[in-house]
Amino acid sequence: MSDPILQINHLSKSFGSNLVLRDIDFTVSTGDVISIIGASGSGKSTLLRCINLLETPTSGEIRYHGKNVLERGTKPASYRSHVGMVFQSFNLFNNMTVLDNCMVGQLRVLKRSREEARDRAMEYLEKVGMAPYVNAKPRQISGGQKQRVAIARAMAMDPEVLLFDEPTSALDPEMVGEVLSVMQTLAESGMTMLVVTHEMAFAREVSSRVVYMNDGVICEQGSPEDMFGHPQKQETIDFLSRFRK
Amino acid sequence: MNKFVQLLSDIAKLWAKYGGAYLGGIRNTLILALVGTLIGCVIGFICGVLNTIPYSKSDHPLKRFVLKLIQVIIRVYVEVFRGTPMVLQAVFLYYGLPYFTDNALKFTSVWAAAIVVVSINTGAYMAESVRGGIISVDPGQTEGAMAIGMNHVQTMTSVILPQALRNIMPQIGNNFIINVKDTSVMFIIGFTEFFAAHRAAVGASYLYFPSATIEMVGYLTMTLIASFLLRWMEKKMDGAGSYELVQTDQLTMTAGTYNFPGRGTPFDEQNPEAVKSMMRENLRRQAEQDEAIRQGRKTDRRLESGVSELGADRKEER
């Protein structure tokens, strides 16, 4: 495949004496849709937050197009503008309307003109079906709608990779579908995505690679067919068996 | 009963003679309180922002030292000006400055002195309020801003401070109302605010109680109006409770205008924006249709292969 966008080498993270991630090696190439699954507390979210430098890894390196972003002197902000993130708790800016949420990053970080930012924001808001709500404040819309806006906000920055940190875990069951279908459309349009999820159906049907994490290490990874069809490791089998009764 | 009549007639007498002085006092009090609170807020915001600049062990030692030093200075400022009475601060500054500099440095007007004292005093209180306001904004807001590549300054100005400002509006209101009342100590440096008018009036008339009644009613009126206005401002800041759905009327937009996309129409030059939005609308409808088709397929597939599985997923999650 083409040269990887992200290359993670020997990444470790500990909170105090608690080792949350151990020696993670991991590559993301253009067009990959990678689902990271695993039990709660297995380090999935921490891995994602490390990749976006919201947590500082204890050791190891994160190479973005070959350049280690953990080195002193690299600006985390400019790196982050290429790596979008969608959070479990949406984190839309409460003081702005839906449209402003999608424009502010373009205006202030990418220094786009108002017209361009507006057009781009509208383009993605239409894609996620939130265009009619441009004037609403985040507190006025539902969880599923917020998450769709959050996706549009991240997409409007034209990121190379989009990280999803359990995007549907905070949603009521009836809203999960709308967010997943937006994500599926994105995946089909060729967006590179890294998704921490508990939605096994999504991991199986949409992703190109599934990574199973257990106890801070990548236990097993492979194509969805292999992972769900013939998992090799005992831990993976145990974990997945809990999802089919 | 005739005591009240007596009081009213005394008040009327006072008002006839010193009404202008009282009104002038009210004006000065309000201006001083307003300007002092506003400048105090600015000081408070600067202190609060400086106080919450994040730094970690991996930062340059000089940066850490400077930030630490700034925080110590702010801490001292806050403790000193919060911990001493404003009346003494006024005396200290107004008479202390010429005392120490042999008249080289002094306030030429009591206005300047009063404004400086009230501002600094308010700033000391606001510094802590602003710090609290910033801390109280959900950390997720910062993370959201960082995730789209904003730096600390951008995050602060676009996301955190507007929300912090809203959070501390009640505090700002508090400070303003306190200032309306507490500026009464500024008579000590000869500032003619509302309370100074009282002192002047009773000095000449000896009508202490009627004048005090005027003062009471006057202060209460000022603070009531102030708190009413502040509530209104807070509401204003929260914005509308409802929002308008934006929907373009496809029929009026496209009727009779859509001919040959490749060739273009005179409509193009006249209104490129309309054409753009029309094309966007078409794209959206196309996407919607695709979506509907895919949705249909997906449900079929799910029905075949895994409704029960999907249900199991959900159960696991809870």
pLDDT digits (tens, 9 = 90+) for A190-208: 999 999 999 999 999 999 9
**β-pair type (A83-86, A209-214):** unpaired
- The fraction of chain B above a pLDDT of 90, given in percent, is 61
What ipTM score was computed for the predicted complex, to two decimals?
A: 0.90
A6-15 and A18-28: which strand pairing?
antiparallel
* 33-72 of B, contacting A, C-beta below 8 A: 56, 58
For residue B270, is pLDDT > 60? Answer: no
Residue B189's DSSP bridge partners are none
Within 8 A of B245 by CB-CB distance, chain A residues are: 132-133, 135
pLDDT, tens digit, 9 for 90 and up, residues B162-208: 999 999 999 999 999 999 999 999 988 989 999 999 999 999 899 99
Assign A10 a pLDDT band (cuts: 50, 70, 90): very high
Distance CA B22, CA B15 (A): 8
Q: Which residues pair with A212 in a beta bridge?
A: A37, A220
Block residue for tokens 């009779």: B256
Q: Which residue in chain A is spatially nearest to B249 when comparing CA positions? A: A132
- Cα A210 from Cα A216, distance rounded (Å): 16
* Partners of residue A169 in chain B, C-beta under 8 Å: 317
Instruction: Report the candidate in B254, B186, B153, B157 with the shortest Cα–Cα distance to residue B31.
Output: B186
| Average of per-residue pLDDT values in chain A | 91
Q: What percent of chain B has pLDDT over 70?
A: 82
Tens of pLDDT, residues B60-101: 889 899 999 999 999 999 999 999 999 999 999 999 888 888
Contact across the interface for A185 and B291, Cβ inside 8 Å: yes
pLDDT digits (tens, 9 = 90+) for A101-131: 999 999 999 999 999 999 999 999 999 999 9
Q: For residue range B28-70, what is the model confidence (pLDDT) as tens digits?
A: 999 999 999 999 999 999 999 999 998 877 778 898 999 999 9
* pLDDT band with cut points at 50, 70 and 90 for residue B296: low
pLDDT at A53: 92
* Residues in chain B within 8 Å Cβ distance of A79: 149
Neighboring chain B residues of A243 at a CB cutoff of 8 Å = 309, 312-313, 316
What is the pLDDT at residue B309? 45
Q: Is B133 exposed, middle or buried (0-12, 13-18, 19+ CB in 10 A)?
A: buried
pLDDT mean over B127-134: 93
- At B249, is the pLDDT very low, low, confident or very high (cuts 50, 70, 90)? very low
Give me the total of CB pairs closer than 8 Å, taking one residue from chain A and one from chain B. 127
Confidence band (pLDDT; 50, 70, 90) for B250?
very low
- Quote the pLDDT of residue B153: 93
Count of all residues that appear for chain A in the document = 245
Centre a 10 Å sphere on the Cβ of residue A89 and count the other Cβ atoms it contains: 18
pLDDT higher than 90, residue B241: no
Distance CA B5, CA B48 (A): 53
Share of chain A above pLDDT 90, in %: 76
Q: What percent of chain A has pLDDT over 70?
A: 98
Identify which of A92, A109, A200 has the shortest CB distance to residue B144.
A92
User: What is the rounded CA–CA span in Å between residue B176 and residue B40?
Assistant: 10
pLDDT at B313: 45
Contact B284 A201 (CB under 8 A): no
Q: Let me know how long chain B is.
A: 318
Residue B265's pLDDT is: 45
Is the pLDDT reported for residue B251 higher than 50? no
- Asked if residue A244 has pLDDT above 80, the reply is no
CA-nearest residue to B280 within chain A is A123
* Cα-only R_g, chain B: 32
What mean pLDDT do residues A48-55 have? Answer: 93
Over residues B136-158, the pLDDT tens digits come to 999 999 999 999 999 999 999 99
Instruction: Say if residue B139 is exposed, middle or buried (CB neighbours under 10 Å; 0-12, 13-18, 19+).
Output: exposed
Whether the per-residue pLDDT at A230 is higher than 70: the answer is: yes
Q: Which of A236, A57, A69, A41 is nearest to A161 (CA)?
A: A69
What is the model's pLDDT at position B25? 94
Residue B262 pLDDT grade (very low, low, confident, very high; cuts 50, 70, 90): very low
